[in-house]
Structure 1
Amino acid sequence: MKMLTVALLSAIAGPAWAQSHAHAHTDAAPAAAPAAADHSKMDHSKMDHSNMDHSAMDQSTMDHGGVDHPQMDHSTMDHAAMGHGTAPVAPREPIPEVTDADRAAAFPPINHDAMEHAPNVHSLLLINRLEHWDGQHGTGQAWEAGGWVGGNINRLWVRSEGERSGGRTESSDLEVLYGRSVSPWWDVLVGVKQDFRPADSRTWAAFGIQGLAPYKFETSATAYVGEGGQLAATVEVEYELLLTNRLILQPLVEATLAARDEPEHGMGAGLNKAEAGLRLRYEFSRRFAPYIGVSHERLFGDTADYHQAAGEHTRDTRWVAGVRVWF
């Protein structure tokens, strides 16, 4: 009986003692936190960073060894000692100076034989002016045309110009010339010229040059040696000013000179004729372009006197309208 009583008291007192023991631990002061890890003594090389969750770290509270990065003066750092390196002041391999041999290699002389890429023969016919004019002393027609056939270096040139007035041909000529390219922009010409006039047909030996002068001036200068030793020359300069891709303004200046007087041919020494024109054309295509313009002609010196004595006018201003085509 006594033993049964002791067992009952133990069963009743056990839970009560456990509950009071738990309250005693709750009311007591919390246990001290474990000491902070000393990172300076930690061997980071043995830590497995791949399994660490860096996103959960509070970077703002981490102590990076007392380094205050915003207050650091990077300009005083010895980057060479830190392993970053510095750019060299001078190139490791100095750039050599340009020599005359380098310039000669960059701009070699033109090899005309190499420019003849193929034996194909090409051709062009340009009617630069085919126009009707209305001047102070009448009306008429005029033309100027030229063409060539050949390769890139050697060509056969044909040129012609003339004028009609009052239903008859006042002047006309035909030139047949051999041309050879002496540079990318210039050709040298040699050949013959034949004048066709009602009472003054003459044959000339012709020597000249034509091409594109600086600033894109189309230039032609030809000297003529005629019968009886007469020397004459013609110089023509044209320029094309693109107002739009199709609207083009073309000024022209042409002058004729002679070495000596020839009254029988109405030709005086020195500058005997000059023409200045301005033509505005519209290119419906590159091959076909109508134009309008104005032209002024004037005779000088003894040439003017000879024509005036024959009852002809020595100057004239003309309005012109025509077409420019090429094939």
Structure 2
Amino acid sequence: MIRALLLTGAALAAAPLAAQDHSMHGGHDGAATDVAPAEMDHCAMGHLPPEQCPPKSGAQVEPEPEPAPKQPEMDHCAMGHLPPEQCPPKTGSAAHGKMDHSAHGMGTDKSAPGAAPESAVPARALAGPRYAADAIWGAEAMAPSRAQLARENGGMKTGMVLVERLEARFATDRGGKDGYVWDAQGWYGGDISRFVIKTEGEGELGGALEDAEIQALYSHAIGPFFDFQGGVRLDAEPETRAHLVLGVQGLAPYWFHVDGALFLSDKGDLTARLEAEYDQKITQQWILQPRIEVELSAQDIPEREIGAGITKIEPGLRLRYEIVPEFAPYVGVEYEAKLGQTADIARADGKDADGIKVLVGLRGWF
């Protein structure tokens, strides 16, 4: 009886020890197998997203505490420091430990605090010689290259002939006379300096030539949009007379084409003329052009029936159709009026001081 009680007590004492898992301790007998050390469970440590971890089983293993996070590395791709082609493609899960500063609203200037802004030009950039290549190749060897560069960037010689107006005019009143007008110019030279020829005149259809002039001018750019012009003008009708010419021509604000000049004749008469026009595109081929021309005189010129002051004004409207940019017929209407003393002189001679005319003409260039 005593032996049975001792055996039962020994069995009960050994049961808890047998329940322990000694599989990781290795066997103590010859038949024991080698067991590899356990790998780190990244899912339990929270290093991987849930979709990349296996489903949890019934038996849970208490995860080890996470180590202290490392200092995050700067993500130059997210901060916009590198072009997109040098950055890896974005995936659904960002790399662990990378901080994304793309949403922090950083400015365009990424220079260090206290440093000069990126837009600042270093002083050493302007400290060198004007022509650094001269120090290596010599000024004599580089001069032809610089001259060639200037010719290819604005110094090339080109030319053009523009017939601005070549038109017939038909009077709408009984006392008016039908006539014709031409207004053309041509030039040859570069973007800065060029030689310009201008000519214009008018007369009666089937009648005598009333006015005709030609100008020879030197034109030099005084800004991005305007040229200064100076030269001579020769009148063939109504009488031969020479003038000195000073003027400007160019593109005024709001895209108005402006041509103004002062004329000093060989008889001391000072006159002026101002022309302005604007091309309003209705379509790519239909263009509406308002135009105005004003003439002035500083004194009376009796032989030309001109009085001092504003002598004539011609506002008009032309609608042209560009079959090609170089060839455009047009129709229009124009009001011509003599003003002041010039109008008084015309009325005294039995002539109309003003009138409206219908225009049919052609504009072209080559």
TM-score (norm 1): 0.70
Aligned twin of 1:305: 344
Moved more, 268-277 or 147-156: 147-156
* One of 40, 45, 59 as aligned partner of 2:40: 45
Is the 1:115–1:152 Cα contact (8 Å) retained in structure 2? Answer: no
> In the aligned structure 2, how far is the partner of 1:99 from the partner of 1:260?
58
After TM superposition, give the deviation of residue 259 of structure 1 in Å: 0.7
Aligned twin of 1:207: 246
After TM superposition, give the deviation of residue 302 of structure 1 in Å: 0.6
> In the aligned structure 2, how far is the partner of 1:179 from the partner of 1:216?
20
Is the 1:116–1:151 Cα contact (8 Å) retained in structure 2? Answer: no
* One of 143, 161, 172 as aligned partner of 1:125: 161
Aligned twin of 2:86: none
> In the aligned structure 2, how far is the partner of 1:55 from the partner of 1:233?
88
Is the 2:166–2:182 Cα contact (8 Å) retained in structure 1? Answer: yes
Matched, 1:191 2:231: yes
Q: Structure 2: state its 5+ residue gaps.
A: 1-18, 24-36, 43-50, 64-68, 73-95, 127-145
Is the 1:80–1:86 Cα contact (8 Å) retained in structure 2? Answer: no
| Identity rate, percent | 32
Moved more, 228-237 or 179-188: 179-188
* One of 96, 109, 134 as aligned partner of 2:117: 96
Equivalent residue runs for 1:190-269 within 5 Å: 190-198=230-238, 200-269=239-308
Moved more, 241-250 or 92-101: 92-101
Matched, 1:180 2:223: no
Change (3 A) 1:85 1:240: same
Q: Structure 1: state its 5+ residue gaps.
A: 1-32, 48-53, 67-77, 106-110
Change (3 A) 1:55 1:283: closer
After TM superposition, give the deviation of residue 229 of structure 1 in Å: 1.8
Change (3 A) 1:101 1:317: farther
In terms of fraction of residues, the more helix-rich structure is 1
Equivalent residue runs for 1:132-171 within 5 Å: 132-135=168-171, 136=173, 137-166=176-205, 167-171=207-211
Aligned twin of 2:133: none
Aligned twin of 1:296: 335
Q: In structure 2, give the amino acid aligned to 1:312.
A: K
Change (3 A) 1:153 1:62: farther
Change (3 A) 1:85 1:164: same
- The alignment covers a number of residue pairs equal to 267
> In the aligned structure 1, how far is the partner of 2:251 from the partner of 2:303?
37
1:155-183 per-position Cα deviation (integer Å, ceiling 9, x unaligned): 11111111111521121211111111222
Change (3 A) 1:60 1:152: farther
Is the 2:233–2:245 Cα contact (8 Å) retained in structure 1? Answer: yes
Aligned twin of 2:16: none
After TM superposition, give the deviation of residue 263 of structure 1 in Å: 2.1
Matched, 1:320 2:341: no
After TM superposition, give the deviation of residue 58 of structure 1 in Å: 2.6
> In the aligned structure 2, how far is the partner of 1:254 from the partner of 1:247?
23
Change (3 A) 1:84 1:156: closer
Aligned twin of 1:5: none
| Larger Rg, first or second structure (1 or 2) | 1
Moved more, 207-216 or 112-121: 112-121
TM-score (norm 2): 0.63
After TM superposition, give the deviation of residue 100 of structure 1 in Å: 10
1:100-124 per-position Cα deviation (integer Å, ceiling 9, x unaligned): 999xx9xxxxx99975438754211
> In the aligned structure 2, how far is the partner of 1:264 from the partner of 1:207?
24
Is the 2:111–2:118 Cα contact (8 Å) retained in structure 1? Answer: no
Change (3 A) 1:131 1:97: same
> In the aligned structure 2, how far is the partner of 1:100 from the partner of 1:309?
72
After TM superposition, give the deviation of residue 57 of structure 1 in Å: 3.8
> In the aligned structure 2, how far is the partner of 1:277 from the partner of 1:60?
94
Is the 1:159–1:174 Cα contact (8 Å) retained in structure 2? Answer: yes
After TM superposition, give the deviation of residue 154 of structure 1 in Å: 2.2
> In the aligned structure 1, how far is the partner of 2:165 from the partner of 2:231?
23
Q: In structure 2, give the amino acid aligned to 1:299.
A: K
Is the 2:330–2:361 Cα contact (8 Å) retained in structure 1? Answer: yes
Q: In structure 2, give the amino acid aligned to 1:44.
A: E
Change (3 A) 1:114 1:255: farther
